[in-house]
Structure 1
C-alpha cells in the first residue's frame, strides 16, 4: 500500500502514473484551497484528483472537466456577478451535490467517497481534514484567499506571508492517520510545498504521524534549479524565507521526509540535501505526457523497494 500527499495540478500527473502501477493507493488531498463561491463549496484540488483518476480532467487547462461548457458562468457575468473564478457547467454539478450533502450533515470525506465511487475510481481519495482549513496569502494589496491571489490577481501581488486559517483547531481525518501508519511508503507529490502540501502538514496530528514514519516518506521536488515546474511555489517560498531551490523544499520537509527525489540536472544540490539526513535520488522528474507519468511513478516505486 502506498499513500500520496497531494495538491492538484502539480500532483495529478504523478498520481495518474502511480494508479497504473499500484492497486492499493490512498491519496491525501489538500483542502487549503477550498472556497465558497456563488453559494457553492468548491474544492479545486480534490476535484482535480477525482477528475484526473476518472479520465475526465481537462488536461489542457489542468483543471475542470474536458469538453465542459461555461454557459452558467457567462450568465453570471451578464447579471453582474464577480465571476472571476471559472466553473464549467458540468463541474458545477459536482459543487451543487457537494454543497447540498454538506448542508444536510454529510462530511467532506463522505461526499468525496461518494464521488469516487460514482466515478469507479480504485484509489482512495481522502481530504486531509473535514473541517475548513483555508490558505490565506499576505500581499502588498492586503490579505486574501489563495484563489483570489492566484486566479483573480493572477499571482502578481508581492507575497509577504502565508497563513493556514483553522489548521490549529482542525484534526486530520482518522483514515489519513491510518493510511500513513499502514503504508509501505508515503510519497509527497511534486506539488507546491507551501500552498498544496503546507495546509496538510499544518495539521499537528498528521504531521506527527509523518515524523514518526519519516524513513518511509519520499518527496519529489517540484522545482528544477530555481524554477517551479508549475505554479507560484518560488514566490511563496521566498515569502517564508526559504531558498528557491530543491534545498529549500527539502529544508521545509526535513523533519518528516527521509528520501528526496531531484532532477538529474540538480546534482549540485545533492550534498546539501543529504546533510539534512535525507537519501537523495536523481532522475528525470519532468512529466510531459502519460508515458512520463508512468516512467516517473515506476522509478519512484523502484527507489522505495531499495
Structure 2
C-alpha cells in the first residue's frame, strides 16, 4: 500500500544544509513536499545591497547554479566589479561576483519597494526552480555578531567579517544574534512546522545556522511543540566539523567538539530542547549510549556526503530513522 505524501520541513544554513537537501530531493517520494526554513542571520548590507548568503546558496545549489568547486556563489562567475571596487580603494574581502550581483540588486530593489523578504525569495526562486519551498526564518533583520579580542577588550564584528575577512582564525569570545529578540517568524514558517510530518535539522552549523534560526523565539517554540518528530544530523564527526568553522565556535563558547555534545547542546524535546533523534557517524557509534541517556534517540550511519550517491543515502537513512 502506498504511503501518503509527507510534508518535510528542513531548518537549513548554507553549504552543508544545501548539500543535504540535494540528497533529500533525490531520496524523497515523488509527492513529498519539502519546505526549507532558511537562515537569514548571515545576511549583511554591502555597498547598499542586502546580501542573503544562505538563502542564495540553497537556491543556487538546488537550481543547478552553484559553483561546484567553491559550493557558494554562481557557476562561471567573473569578478570584474570586485576588481573595480578595489581600484576605487574599497574593501573587497567579501566575494561579490558579477553574476551574483544581479540577485542582490533585485532583492534590494524589491525591499526598497516594500516587498517582504519571503515574497522576494519566492520570486527569485521562480527562476531557479529549486524543488522546495524556501522561506526566510524571519523578515526582520537579524545579524550574527562575533566578539573577538581587541586592543581594549572585546571587539564585536559581523559574522561575515569573522568568517571571511579573518578566516575564522581568531578565538571567539562572544556571540550575539542581533535583532533576534524582537524578530517574528517569517510568513508561512510556523504553519509549515506545525503542519509537518517530519522536521529535519541537517548537518548545518549548530551555532550560527541552526542556532541562529532557533534564536527567533517563535520558530524555536514551534519546533519544540510540533507533533512531527524532529531528527538532527550531526555536523561533527570525531572532533572536527565536517565543513566550516563549527569547531572554532563550539570551542569559543565552551562546548565540547563532539557529536554527542552538540546533541546535548540542542537538547531533547522531552526536557525543553528541540531534538527527538540524532544521527552520528559510524566512527562516533560509541556516543550513541550517552546521547540516548540524554533523552535523544541516536543511531550511527555514514555521514560523509562525498558525492551524490552518499548524500542521497544519508537522506534515506534520515527518513528511515524518523
The answer to whether the superposition gives a TM-score over 0.5 is: yes
Once the two structures are superposed, the pairs formed by residues 1-306 of structure 1 within 5 Å of their partners are 1-22=7-28, 23-141=32-150, 142-213=155-226, 216-254=229-267, 255-304=273-322
- 2:4 alignment partner in structure 1: none
Shift of 1:272: 1.2
Q: Secondary structure at the match of 1:193?
A: coil
| Structure 1 gap segments, 5+ residues each | none
Which has the larger displacement, 128-137 or 294-303? 294-303
Assess if the C-alpha contact under 8 Å between 2:194 and 2:227 holds in 1.
Answer: no
For residue 247 of structure 1, report the CA deviation from its aligned partner. 1.5
Distance in 1 between residues matched to 2:174 and 2:130, nearest whole Å: 37
- CA offset digits 1:246-272 (Å, max 9, x no partner): 122111211111000000110121111
Cα distance per residue 1:12-44 (max 9 Å; x no partner): 111011112334100100011000011110000
Q: Give yes or no for contact 2:240–2:247 (8 Å, CA) kept in 1.
A: yes
Q: Distance in 1 between matches of 2:129 and 2:249?
A: 36
Task: Please name the residue that 2:270 is paired with.
Answer: none
Structure 2: gaps (5+ residues) = 1-6, 268-272
Structure 1 range deviating more: 181-190 or 288-297? 288-297
Q: Secondary structure at the match of 2:295?
A: coil
Secondary structure of the residue that 1:116 maps to in structure 2? Answer: helix
C-alpha change, 1:188 and 1:214, in structure 2 (3 Å) is farther
The two structures, once aligned, show a CA RMSD in angstroms of 1.1
C-alpha distance in 2 between matches for 1:245 and 1:75: 43
Offset at 1:240? 2.0
Contact 1:57 1:66 in 2 (8 A): yes
TM-fit CA distance, 1:214: 7.1
Contact 1:2 1:26 in 2 (8 A): yes
SS of equivalent residue, structure 1 residue 168? helix
CA–CA separation in structure 1 for the residues paired with 2:317 and 2:288: 18
Query: What is the CA-CA distance between 1:215 and the residue it aligns to?
Result: 6.0
Alpha-carbon distance in structure 2 between the residues aligned to 1:27 and 1:114: 15
Contact kept in structure 2, 1:161 and 1:236, CA below 8 Å: no
Rounded to whole Å, the distance in 1 between the matches of 2:292 and 2:129 is 41
- Aligned residue for 1:195, secondary structure, equals coil
Q: Distance in 1 between matches of 2:110 and 2:266?
A: 35
